[in-house]
């Protein structure tokens, strides 16, 4: 137990040092699956917990259970541990970390914010062939609760860009109360198999502005005429516009390493005045 605690403290010290961007090379090479599981950011929910340094986060609970204390863990260390260390990072990471951990105005992520998105690479069957089509989804409010909504559709040869947007029919904007559950990201949106069908009511799952576009209208028609059948999600990335002045992109790294799971793969400064237009443009060209 003591050696495990020492390993954790070495790791946290390492990721808070100037050389945290390099691969961990000074830690013991032989580690158990249990050790990897301890450090792994297993779900995007856990990523948000660690980023916010919530008192009841998994890593703090486990530290208290195993070592009797979590006092040696700081939020700054936890945030730096969320970066993919197998990439080279510059000073933007220190600037970002200092900004979000500023004690006078700390910044946090929230699962229920509407301006963070999952970009899901979805596999569909079209004309008996498998195609990959990106769908961008975000969280939106629903009668006191929340749900995922499809907010953007990527480019694909299945769409005819020369056609004008279709005229929405009356049932387009008729909702049935059905929804994409907020837990769906944890199961790679397998629920879309039952939801994206010929009998769907588009307003249950698609944002109105997307339904009014050429691409949105054609996608819905293809699904409803059973010319496009959802199979599964092959890959996901999460895009956070919630920290003012920054775009954070998070991807999943599956490897035998202390630094694995859902980690920051890109950190981009953005003009805060242009962020709404950036999001709008991004959603229509994911």
Per-residue confidence (pLDDT) for residue 24, from 0 to 100: 28
Rounded to whole angstroms, the Cα distance separating 156 from 236 reads 18
Q: What angle do CA 16, 26, 94 make, to 5 degrees?
A: 20
pLDDT band at 106 (very low <50, low <70, confident <90, very high): very high
Per-residue confidence (pLDDT) for residue 272, from 0 to 100: 76
pTM of structure: 0.85
pLDDT tens-digit series, residues 210-261 = 988 889 989 999 999 899 999 999 999 999 999 999 999 999 999 888 899 9
Beta bridge partners of 252: 262
Helix or strand or coil: residue 102? coil
Rounded to whole angstroms, the Cα distance separating 238 from 70 reads 28
Q: Per-domain residue ranges for the chain?
A: 2-109+243-284, 116-237
Residue-wise burial string across 7-40, b where 16 or more C-beta atoms lie within 10 A, e elsewhere: bbeebbebbbeeebbeebeeeeeebeeebeebbb
Per-residue confidence (pLDDT) for residue 65, from 0 to 100: 87
pLDDT tens-digit series, residues 146-183 = 999 999 999 888 988 777 666 666 667 888 889 999 99
């Amino acid at each position: 137990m003591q050696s495990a605690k020492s390993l954790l403290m070495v790791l946290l010290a390492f990721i808070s040092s100037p050389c945290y961007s390099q691969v961990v090379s000074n830690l013991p090479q032989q580690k158990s699956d249990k050790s990897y599981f301890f450090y792994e950011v297993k779900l995007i929910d856990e990523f948000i917990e660690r980023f916010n340094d919530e008192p009841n986060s998994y890593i703090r609970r486990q530290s208290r259970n195993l070592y009797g204390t979590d006092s040696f863990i700081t939020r700054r260390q936890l945030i730096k541990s969320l970066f993919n260390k197998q990439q080279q990072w510059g000073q933007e990471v220190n600037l970002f970390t200092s900004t979000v951990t500023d004690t006078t105005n700390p910044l946090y992520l929230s699962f229920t914010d509407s301006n963070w998105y999952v970009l899901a690479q979805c596999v569909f069957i079209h004309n008996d062939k498998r195609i990959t089509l990106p769908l961008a989804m975000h969280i939106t409010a629903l009668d006191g609760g929340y749900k995922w909504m499809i907010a953007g559709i990527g480019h694909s040869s299945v769409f005819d860009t020369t056609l004008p947007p279709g005229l929405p029919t009356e049932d387009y904007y008729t909702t049935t109360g059905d929804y994409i559950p907020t837990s769906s990201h944890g199961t790679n949106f397998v629920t879309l198999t039952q939801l994206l069908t010929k009998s769907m009511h588009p307003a249950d799952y698609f944002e109105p502005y997307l339904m009014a576009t050429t691409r949105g209208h054609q996608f819905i028609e293809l699904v409803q005429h059973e010319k496009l059948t959802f199979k599964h999600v092959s890959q996901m990335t999460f895009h956070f516009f919630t920290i003012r002045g920054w775009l954070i992109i998070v991807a999943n790294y599956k490897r035998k390493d202390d630094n694995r799971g859902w980690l920051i793969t890109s950190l981009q400064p953005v003009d805060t005045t242009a962020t709404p237009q950036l999001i709008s443009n991004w959603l229509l060209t994911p």
